[in-house]
Structure formats: C-alpha cells, structure tokens
Amino acid sequence: MKTIKLIRQNHHGRNCIFIYCENDPDFNRMIRNYPGRNWSRSSSAWYVPDCEGSVRNIIAYFKENFRIDATNLHRSKRTVDSGFRENHVSPSGYLDPVRMTVDTTKGKLVIKFMGRYDKKWISELRQYGRPYYDPVKKEWYLSATRVIIDSLSDYFNNEGVQLILKKAVKPAAFKETRKNIINKIRQRELPEDINKKIKDFGYFLQQQRYSRHTLDSYLSHLELFFKYFHSLNPEELTNENISEFMESVIIKQGYSASFQNQLLSAIKAYYYYHGHGRLNLEEIKRPRKSKPLPQVLSKEEVTRILQSTRNIKHRLLLYIIYSCGLRRSEVINIKLSDLNRDRKTLHIRSGKGNVDRVVPVSDKVWSKLDEYIAAFKPGEYLFEGQNGGKYSAGSVYHVFCQSAKRAGIDKDLGVHSLRHSYATHLHEGGVDIRYIQELLGHKSSRTTEIYTHVSRRNLLNINNPLDDLEVQ
C-alpha cells in the first residue's frame, strides 16, 4: 500500500492542501474524481483549498487504498524536503506547533500554543474537564491522565499540527538542593547490627535471583530509609513513620511515583524477610501511578535517525535496537555467539526478569554486520568499548541522542523509543499482539496492549456516527 503525503502550502495567496503521491494509476484515477481538486504546474502536484473538514474528507476518500501521512501539514514542502523547521511563520501562513509537557510530580499536563493557533483547539481542551489558563505564561493546564494525553495527541496529529511532547525538567537549583539534603541523610552512621541485617537481606535477594540492578536499588532505598530514622531500630518503626518519610523526603523532594513505589517494595520485602515488627504491611498503600503513553517515532523519523548516524558501529547499534525491539541493557550484552546467521535470529539471554527469547534479524542488519565486524573486529561482545569489554549503557544513550539531534527531531526521547516504535509499527503492520508480546519478552499481554493505544492501524477505518445521519 503506497503512501499519500498531505502538506499545507500557500498557493497564489491562499492556504491549500497539496496531495503528493508516487506515480500510481489508482491514485491518478481517484484524484481526478475528487471534488474541488486542482493541478499546480509550478509544484507538479494536486491540491485542494484548505477549508474546514478538508483533511478529514481527504482521509475518508483515500483511506481504503492508501496510507495517509498527515504529519507534515504544519510545514511547507521546502521545509519537509530540507528536513528542518522554518524559524518564521508568514502572515498568511501555517499554524504553529503545540507543546505538551507532562509534569509527573504534580500530575499536570501543560499545553502551550507556540504561536498561531486555531480557536477550536481551546474548545477541544474543554472536552476534558475545566482547564486552567495562566495568562502570564500563556499556558493551559489539565490532569496528566493517560486518556487525556492519548486523546489530545491523536487530535493534534489528525489536525496536521506538529506536537512536541516532553516531560517536565526540574530546575538545576532544585536538583542540587535535593542532592544536598539526601547526602546529609546518607552521611549518618547506622549501628552494626542494622548494617548486618541489610547485608543478610541482600544475600537473600541474591538467592532469589533478583537482578543486580534491583538488588542495588533495594539496598540503597533501605539504607536511606533507616538512616532517616537513625535513632530508631527497624523493629520500632510504624506505618506512621513510613508516611512521615514519604511526605518529608519522597514527595517534598519531588521524587516520582515509580521511585516511591520501588522504595515501598524494598521496605515490604525487608520486613517480610526479617519480621513485621510494629508495621502492618497490608495497610501500606502504594501511590497512584500516572500511565503516560510511550513516545513513538514514525517510520519516517526512524529513517532520518538511522540515516543521520554516520559511524558504522553506531548505525549497526541503532539498526539492531529498532529491528529487534531491544532494551538498552539487552543490546550491550549481545555476544557474537548469540547471532545465528543460518536461522537469521538473535538469542537474547537473561533479559528483564531473566527471560530468554529469540528474535528474527533483518537482512539489512546482516549486511551491516559484515561491514562492521571487518572494520572493528569485536572479540566476545558484539559491541565493545575502546578498552575492550561490553559497550556502556551511557554510550548507547549518547549515540541515540546525537543521531536524533542531527535528524532534527525535537522530542523528549530515550533509546527505549526505538523499542516502542518497533512494537507500534508491528501492530500497525497487522502483527497479532500475542506475537508482539513474545518478540518483546513481556510476561503479561497487558504490558504489550499499551501499543494498541498509540497504533493508528484501525483509527482511519472508524466511521464517524455523524456520517450515518441524514442531516445537512
């Protein structure tokens, strides 16, 4: 199925929507029968006037036969071809981007129109409760729920408006103050018997085959918790003490709900092992976690990232992460012996939760692999550092960020975005969610089902109920 690109341009003094498609007999036949279409000799393309409902009508007309790419409606063709966003908007020009910032600490979604906007956007915001408007910052505020973020993302994408979705970044001064407060707590000394109990608990976690990352996190959390109450023995602590710690340290210092949840898991596991003491573990309530949707790249954006990666090693690294749906920790642990060229597969060993899985490897990866091995001659691990040993997770992150920056992608992204994109693109391509679950190594299908919320596979096939009413 070929793709039609919709691009908003100014043509002879009025806004128009240009419809671009590779030379295709079906497209040529259909566009000639489309009401109100015109041909531009200067652009060598078909276009229609940019009126209310134009985008919706185009999608409804072509959706059965073509993919519709409306991601560039906010930019001119010159901007799309060059890959860079223009720094200005002409008086007759195009609607500017919308920035949505998720503040996980406050549970707020901050929406800011970056310039020219359509007044109906405000009406759309009011569909999700009573948004608060700050006239000084010129920002709108809504609850940062998964449904609202998902729905508004779909709305602005359907409107052809560039959406910049980011997480709120805490000020450097705030981080420095928090660091100093936490360091003061950690500098306190614990009695030897408490240190021994924490070590014994660590040995227990090792025997239970907890991952090194989880083990280190649990012990660090417990040390901070017990040092905060350094004058009390663990057996003397109560549920009220836990509430005090959460309020004074975790919430006041702006730690996330995920951090708080893991700390509670460490406390519960410790007391289940050593005895409850004065605690009632059943009454310890976990925080409500926000469930933001994964940040997904379009296939065009993935292409730009891969093409902007110049180093052979770095390009293969990103090829494998995307084409196999890997976590950052999984790609740095790949050994040469894990690759099976005859079966065209990769064996992922001891992934998250110590789960092994086998994933197919693209032919494009094998061709890049030969070139890479001949140039870098890795020893044990596929990706190794300059001094040998496996590549660091920080280096993988740096490679990805530099490639995304060169590709001109202005989003709050991490390496995991490639894994999210892999899963979403599989779902949009018609792959059953159960197979995607197996490829990603998820224990539960509920984890995998989040990709049905960001996949647009079935959205364009949904008929609006208004179309069934005989009204004018």
Number of H helices, E strands in the chain: 19, 13
Enclosing H/E stretch for 40: strand 38-40
Tokens standing for 194?
A: 């408490």
Measured CA distances, 280 to 57, 197, 268, 356 (Å): 60, 20, 10, 37
- Residue pair 451/422 in contact by the 8 Å Cβ criterion: no
- Residue 91's CB is within 10 A of a number of other CB atoms, namely 6
Enclosing H/E stretch for 348: strand 345-348
For residue 47, give the amino acid letter.
Answer: Y
Contacts of 257 (CB under 8 A, 6+ apart): 104, 287, 288, 289, 290
Give CA–CA dist 469/187, Å, rounded: 70
Residue 292 dihedral angles phi and psi, to the nearest 5°: -65, 150
Tokens standing for 119?
A: 């007044």
Give CA–CA dist 303/336, Å, rounded: 26
CA distance from start to end of the chain: 34
- Residue pair 449/365 in contact by the 8 Å Cβ criterion: no
> What is the C-alpha radius of gyration for the chain, rounded to an integer number of angstroms?
26
Name the CA dihedral angle for 423, 425, 427, 428, rounded to a multiple of 10 degrees.
160
Placement of tokens 């806004």 in the chain: 15
Residue 245 dihedral angles phi and psi, to the nearest 5°: -65, -45
Q: What positions carry a catalytic annotation?
A: 327, 352, 416, 419, 442, 451
Enclosing H/E stretch for 102: strand 98-103
- Residue pair 382/368 in contact by the 8 Å Cβ criterion: no
Contacts of 140 (CB under 8 A, 6+ apart): 110, 111, 112, 122, 125, 131, 132, 133, 134
- Residue pair 238/283 in contact by the 8 Å Cβ criterion: no
In the chain, what is the greatest distance between 2 CA atoms, to the nearest angstrom? 84
- Nearest partner of 118 among 148, 151, 86, 161, judged by Cα: 161
